[in-house]
């Protein structure tokens, strides 16, 4: 089964995708981290044609053979990755890699365009949503810092990610929208597991 999880910034996609993949024994593919690694490559002056990105067990990201996973959540890469992601040449390259990974077996892939562009025929599509304020509160709890700045950053990224011409953020018509406002991660995982069960039962019919 290919499971696509899309949604706006800080909606909890990575947390859900990781725990769902673990629960099901599937490969976890964080495409947000791939765009962050592409942004890091850009900062380091790596030419797009030379970009070597690999996703390993547990969603670890190798850039030019180096494990850069622990560097990817820095706030400067929040904005830079969203800017790099507007470039169609970057998207084309990353989508190729993402499709090749999904062709290899069961995956839980999270991002912005998984259900719409990368895997339009995924067996299950979840669009994870929560209000801007709730998402900013969660980020603030995790990372600390200035709440108003975090909220503004989330708004800026959502605006850019959803208005770009190539693969804008939006729910696929056949995605299940999960409003997670007020929910904790365990409850979100339980709801997603229920959707997986329903989908499996439907596919077995
Ligand atoms: O999910 P994230 O915050 O780690 O993603 C970082 C940026 O990468 C996000 O602002 C937009 C971009 N992105 C994208 O355009 N398409 C994806 N499938 C995943 C992320």
List of domains in the chain? 1-26+107-205 (3.40.50.300), 30-105 (3.40.50.300)
Q: In which band, very low, low, confident or very high, does the pLDDT at 141 lie, cut at 50, 70 and 90? A: very high
Cβ 14 vs Cβ 32: under 8 Å? yes
Q: How far is CA 106 from the centre of its chain?
A: 16
- CB of residue 158 inside a 6 A radius of ligand 1: no
pLDDT reported for residue 157: 95
- CB of residue 126 inside a 6 A radius of ligand 1: no
Ligand 1 atom at minimal distance to the Cα of residue 31: 19
**How many angstroms is it from 201 CA to the middle of ligand 1?**
31
Residues in the chain: 205
Interior angle at CA 55, CA 170 and CA 85, nearest 5: 35
3-state secondary structure of 124: strand
pLDDT digit string, tens, across residues 123-137: 999 999 999 999 999
Mean of the per-residue pLDDT values of the chain: 97
pLDDT digit string, tens, across residues 32-86: 999 999 999 999 999 999 999 999 999 999 999 999 999 999 889 999 999 999 9
User: Is-above-0.75 flag for pTM?
Assistant: yes
pLDDT digit string, tens, across residues 96-114: 999 999 999 999 999 999 9
pLDDT reported for residue 192: 98
């Amino acid at each position: 089964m290919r499971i696509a999880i899309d949604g706006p910034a800080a909606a909890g996609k990575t947390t859900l995708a990781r725990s769902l993949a673990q629960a099901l024994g599937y490969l976890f593919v964080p495409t947000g981290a791939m765009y962050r690694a592409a942004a890091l490559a850009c900062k380091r002056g790596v030419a797009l044609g030379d970009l070597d990105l690999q996703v390993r067990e547990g969603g670890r990201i190798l850039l030019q053979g180096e494990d850069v996973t622990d560097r990817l959540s820095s706030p400067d890469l929040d904005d830079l990755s969203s800017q790099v992601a507007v470039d169609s040449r970057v998207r084309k390259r990353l989508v190729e890699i993402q499709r090749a990974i999904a062709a290899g077996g069961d995956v839980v892939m999270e991002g912005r365009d998984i259900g719409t562009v990368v895997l339009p025929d995924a067996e299950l599509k979840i669009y994870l949503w929560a209000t801007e304020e709730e998402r900013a509160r969660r980020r603030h709890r995790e990372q600390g810092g200035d709440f108003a700045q975090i909220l503004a950053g989330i708004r800026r990224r959502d605006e850019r990610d959803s208005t770009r011409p190539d693969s804008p953020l939006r729910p696929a018509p056949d995605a299940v929208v999960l409003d997670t406002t007020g929910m904790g991660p365990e409850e979100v995982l339980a709801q997603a597991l229920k959707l997986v069960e329903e989908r499996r039962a439907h596919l077995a019919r």
